[in-house]
Structures are given as C-alpha cells and as structure tokens.
Copies of this chain bind each other. A is one copy, B any other.
Amino acid sequence: MFAVTILGNNSAVPAFDRHPTSQVVTLDGTNYLVDCGEGTQIQLIKYKIRRGKISHIFISHLHGDHYFGLIGLLNSFGLLGHQQELHVYGPSPLKEIIELQLKVADTTLCYPLHIHHITEATTLVDTDKMSVKCFRTNHRIECYGFSFSEKKKLRKLDLEKAKQMEIPAVFYDRLKDGMDYVRKDGLVVKNEDVTLPGEPGKKYAFCADTKYDESLIPHIEGADMIYHETTYLDNLRERAESRFHSTTRQAATIAQKAGVKKLLIGHFSSKYDTLEEFEAEAREVFPNTELALEGVCYEV
C-alpha cells in the first residue's frame, strides 16, 4: 500500500481540534513521517500508527508548527526502547537544536539517530523499490517539499508464451527485469513477446509551506497525488502573499498546471472554524481536490 495519513492539518496555532502539520507516508511496509508539529506523538497513538515502523522523518522547515513535536518523539522512542536506526532530514541547525536538548537532559538515546541537514534539492533516500527527493519551496525561511516515488514495477510474465518458447523457469526473474532470452538453437526471444509492461510506479509530493510558485511544478509534475497548503481562502490572497502562504485557488492552479491526478489541501489558518469553503473554492479550479482531514488515510 502507498498511502498518506494526516495527523495534523492546521497552520501555526492549534484550534478547533486541528493540530499542527504532520503526516505519515506509508510505502513498501515502512512509515515515513513528514513534519512533526507539537503533539505528533499523541496523534500517532490516537490514530494507531505504529511508531516502531518509522525509520525516516522529514522536516520541511524550522517554523515551530512543523517540528516542535520532534524532540518529544525522539525522546519517547528512547524511553520506549526503540532500537532500529532513525534518520531525520531537515534544514540546519536542526541537529544542534536536538543535540542541545538531549544534552541538557543528560539523555543518551538507545538507538542510532542520524540527523542530516538538507541544503539543496537532492535525492535523500533511494532503494530498489522507491526514492525520496526534496525540493525548495518559496517560504519566509528555508523550506523543502518532499516527493515519494515508487520505482517502476517489474514486467509481468506471460507464462503460456514463455512455456511455448521453451524458456526455462530459472530465467523468469530476468524476463521480469526486461531481458531477452537466447535459446540454445540461437533464436532470440524478444522480451516483449513473453512479458507485459509492469505498472508504472506511483508518486506523491508534499509541497510544504509555500507561496504560489510555478517553479515547484517540475518536481511534482504528473504525480498521482500532491499535498499543497491552502492557509487562506482566495479573498485573502494578499495576506497569503505577504506571509509566504497560498490560497485555495493558488493550490488548485498548481495542481492543474502540474497535471497531477489528485490534490490534498491542508495547513488551514486558525481563523477558520469550518473547512467546506476551502474544498468548494479549490474544486472550482481543480475538481479532484480533497480536504486533508486528520486521521484519514488517503491512498496514492
């Protein structure tokens, strides 16, 4: 399963039972945590997300509503006897902030913690099944979005045809990898004659905090789902601009121009007690928009 579970969908100040930014990307059996606002560890308990399966945490930027819950989570992992390696990625000086707080508490974590500073758009994680890349967004302080891409799936074997062509079973995995088969009689069996194309890998992008900026598009183009902030409704476009945030229509316009399949919107300002208008305004521009609601799991 490739899915995103929202833990917090509000902007700076918690309000109306909405919490600061955090979400869990589940991919290939691993939980990747994206941002970690205050109270994230409590949201993880509430929504029964297995903390032990979190191996990577990505922090977009050092505004408090995106990382004040990180030190508490790292600390709790230690108290709960977490043992596997944990990688945290975020802008400088995240490492110094965390290490200072561990030091003054005289805390030695019982698991290997690696805090990596992000300094530019790059690939952060790359396995044979998926990759995570980061890209700059346009915010008041240094800020990064993250894209999660499945690798293309293996080709599908056409078993009947493979047997007809007398290809031995031991070669089937290589067929799925796309190789041709050369028979003992010299005949070359073309891969595409005995296999079908694999499904393309899916892609999800988290666009963090940002003002409207089309330079994001190359990083999210064609994604199956993106999350884009909409701190304000469209009548507060000037306020959004001055605070380096986006409105409903701006988020939807980015989704439309990037040709993505689905848009999640979140990071709602605490000035709004209800969210229906966000959905309605965004859908006028990009119909396949959904509100990012806390506790809901959205399949990519």
User: A residues within 8 Å of B by Cβ?
Assistant: 12-15, 19, 38-39, 41-42, 45, 62-64, 68-69, 71-72, 75-76, 79-80, 93, 96-97, 100-101, 104-107, 140-141
Residue of B nearest to A70 (CB): B68
| A42 in contact with B45 given A76-B12, A104-B62, A106-B140 (CB within 8 Å) | no
CB pair A141 B106 closer than 8 Å: yes
CB pair B80 A71 closer than 8 Å: no
| A38 in contact with B106 given A100-B100, A101-B64 (CB within 8 Å) | no
In the assembled complex, the Cα of A221 lies from the Cα of B75 at a distance in Å of 35
- A145 smallest CB distance to B (angstroms): 18
- A142 smallest CB distance to B (angstroms): 9
CB pair A68 B72 closer than 8 Å: yes
In the assembled complex, the Cα of A69 lies from the Cα of B75 at a distance in Å of 14
CB pair B38 A41 closer than 8 Å: yes
B-chain residues with CB within 8 Å of residue A93 when the two chains form the complex: 100, 104
| A97 in contact with B104 given A13-B79, A45-B14, A75-B64 (CB within 8 Å) | yes
B-chain residues with CB within 8 Å of residue A100 when the two chains form the complex: 93, 96-97, 100
- A106 smallest CB distance to B (angstroms): 5
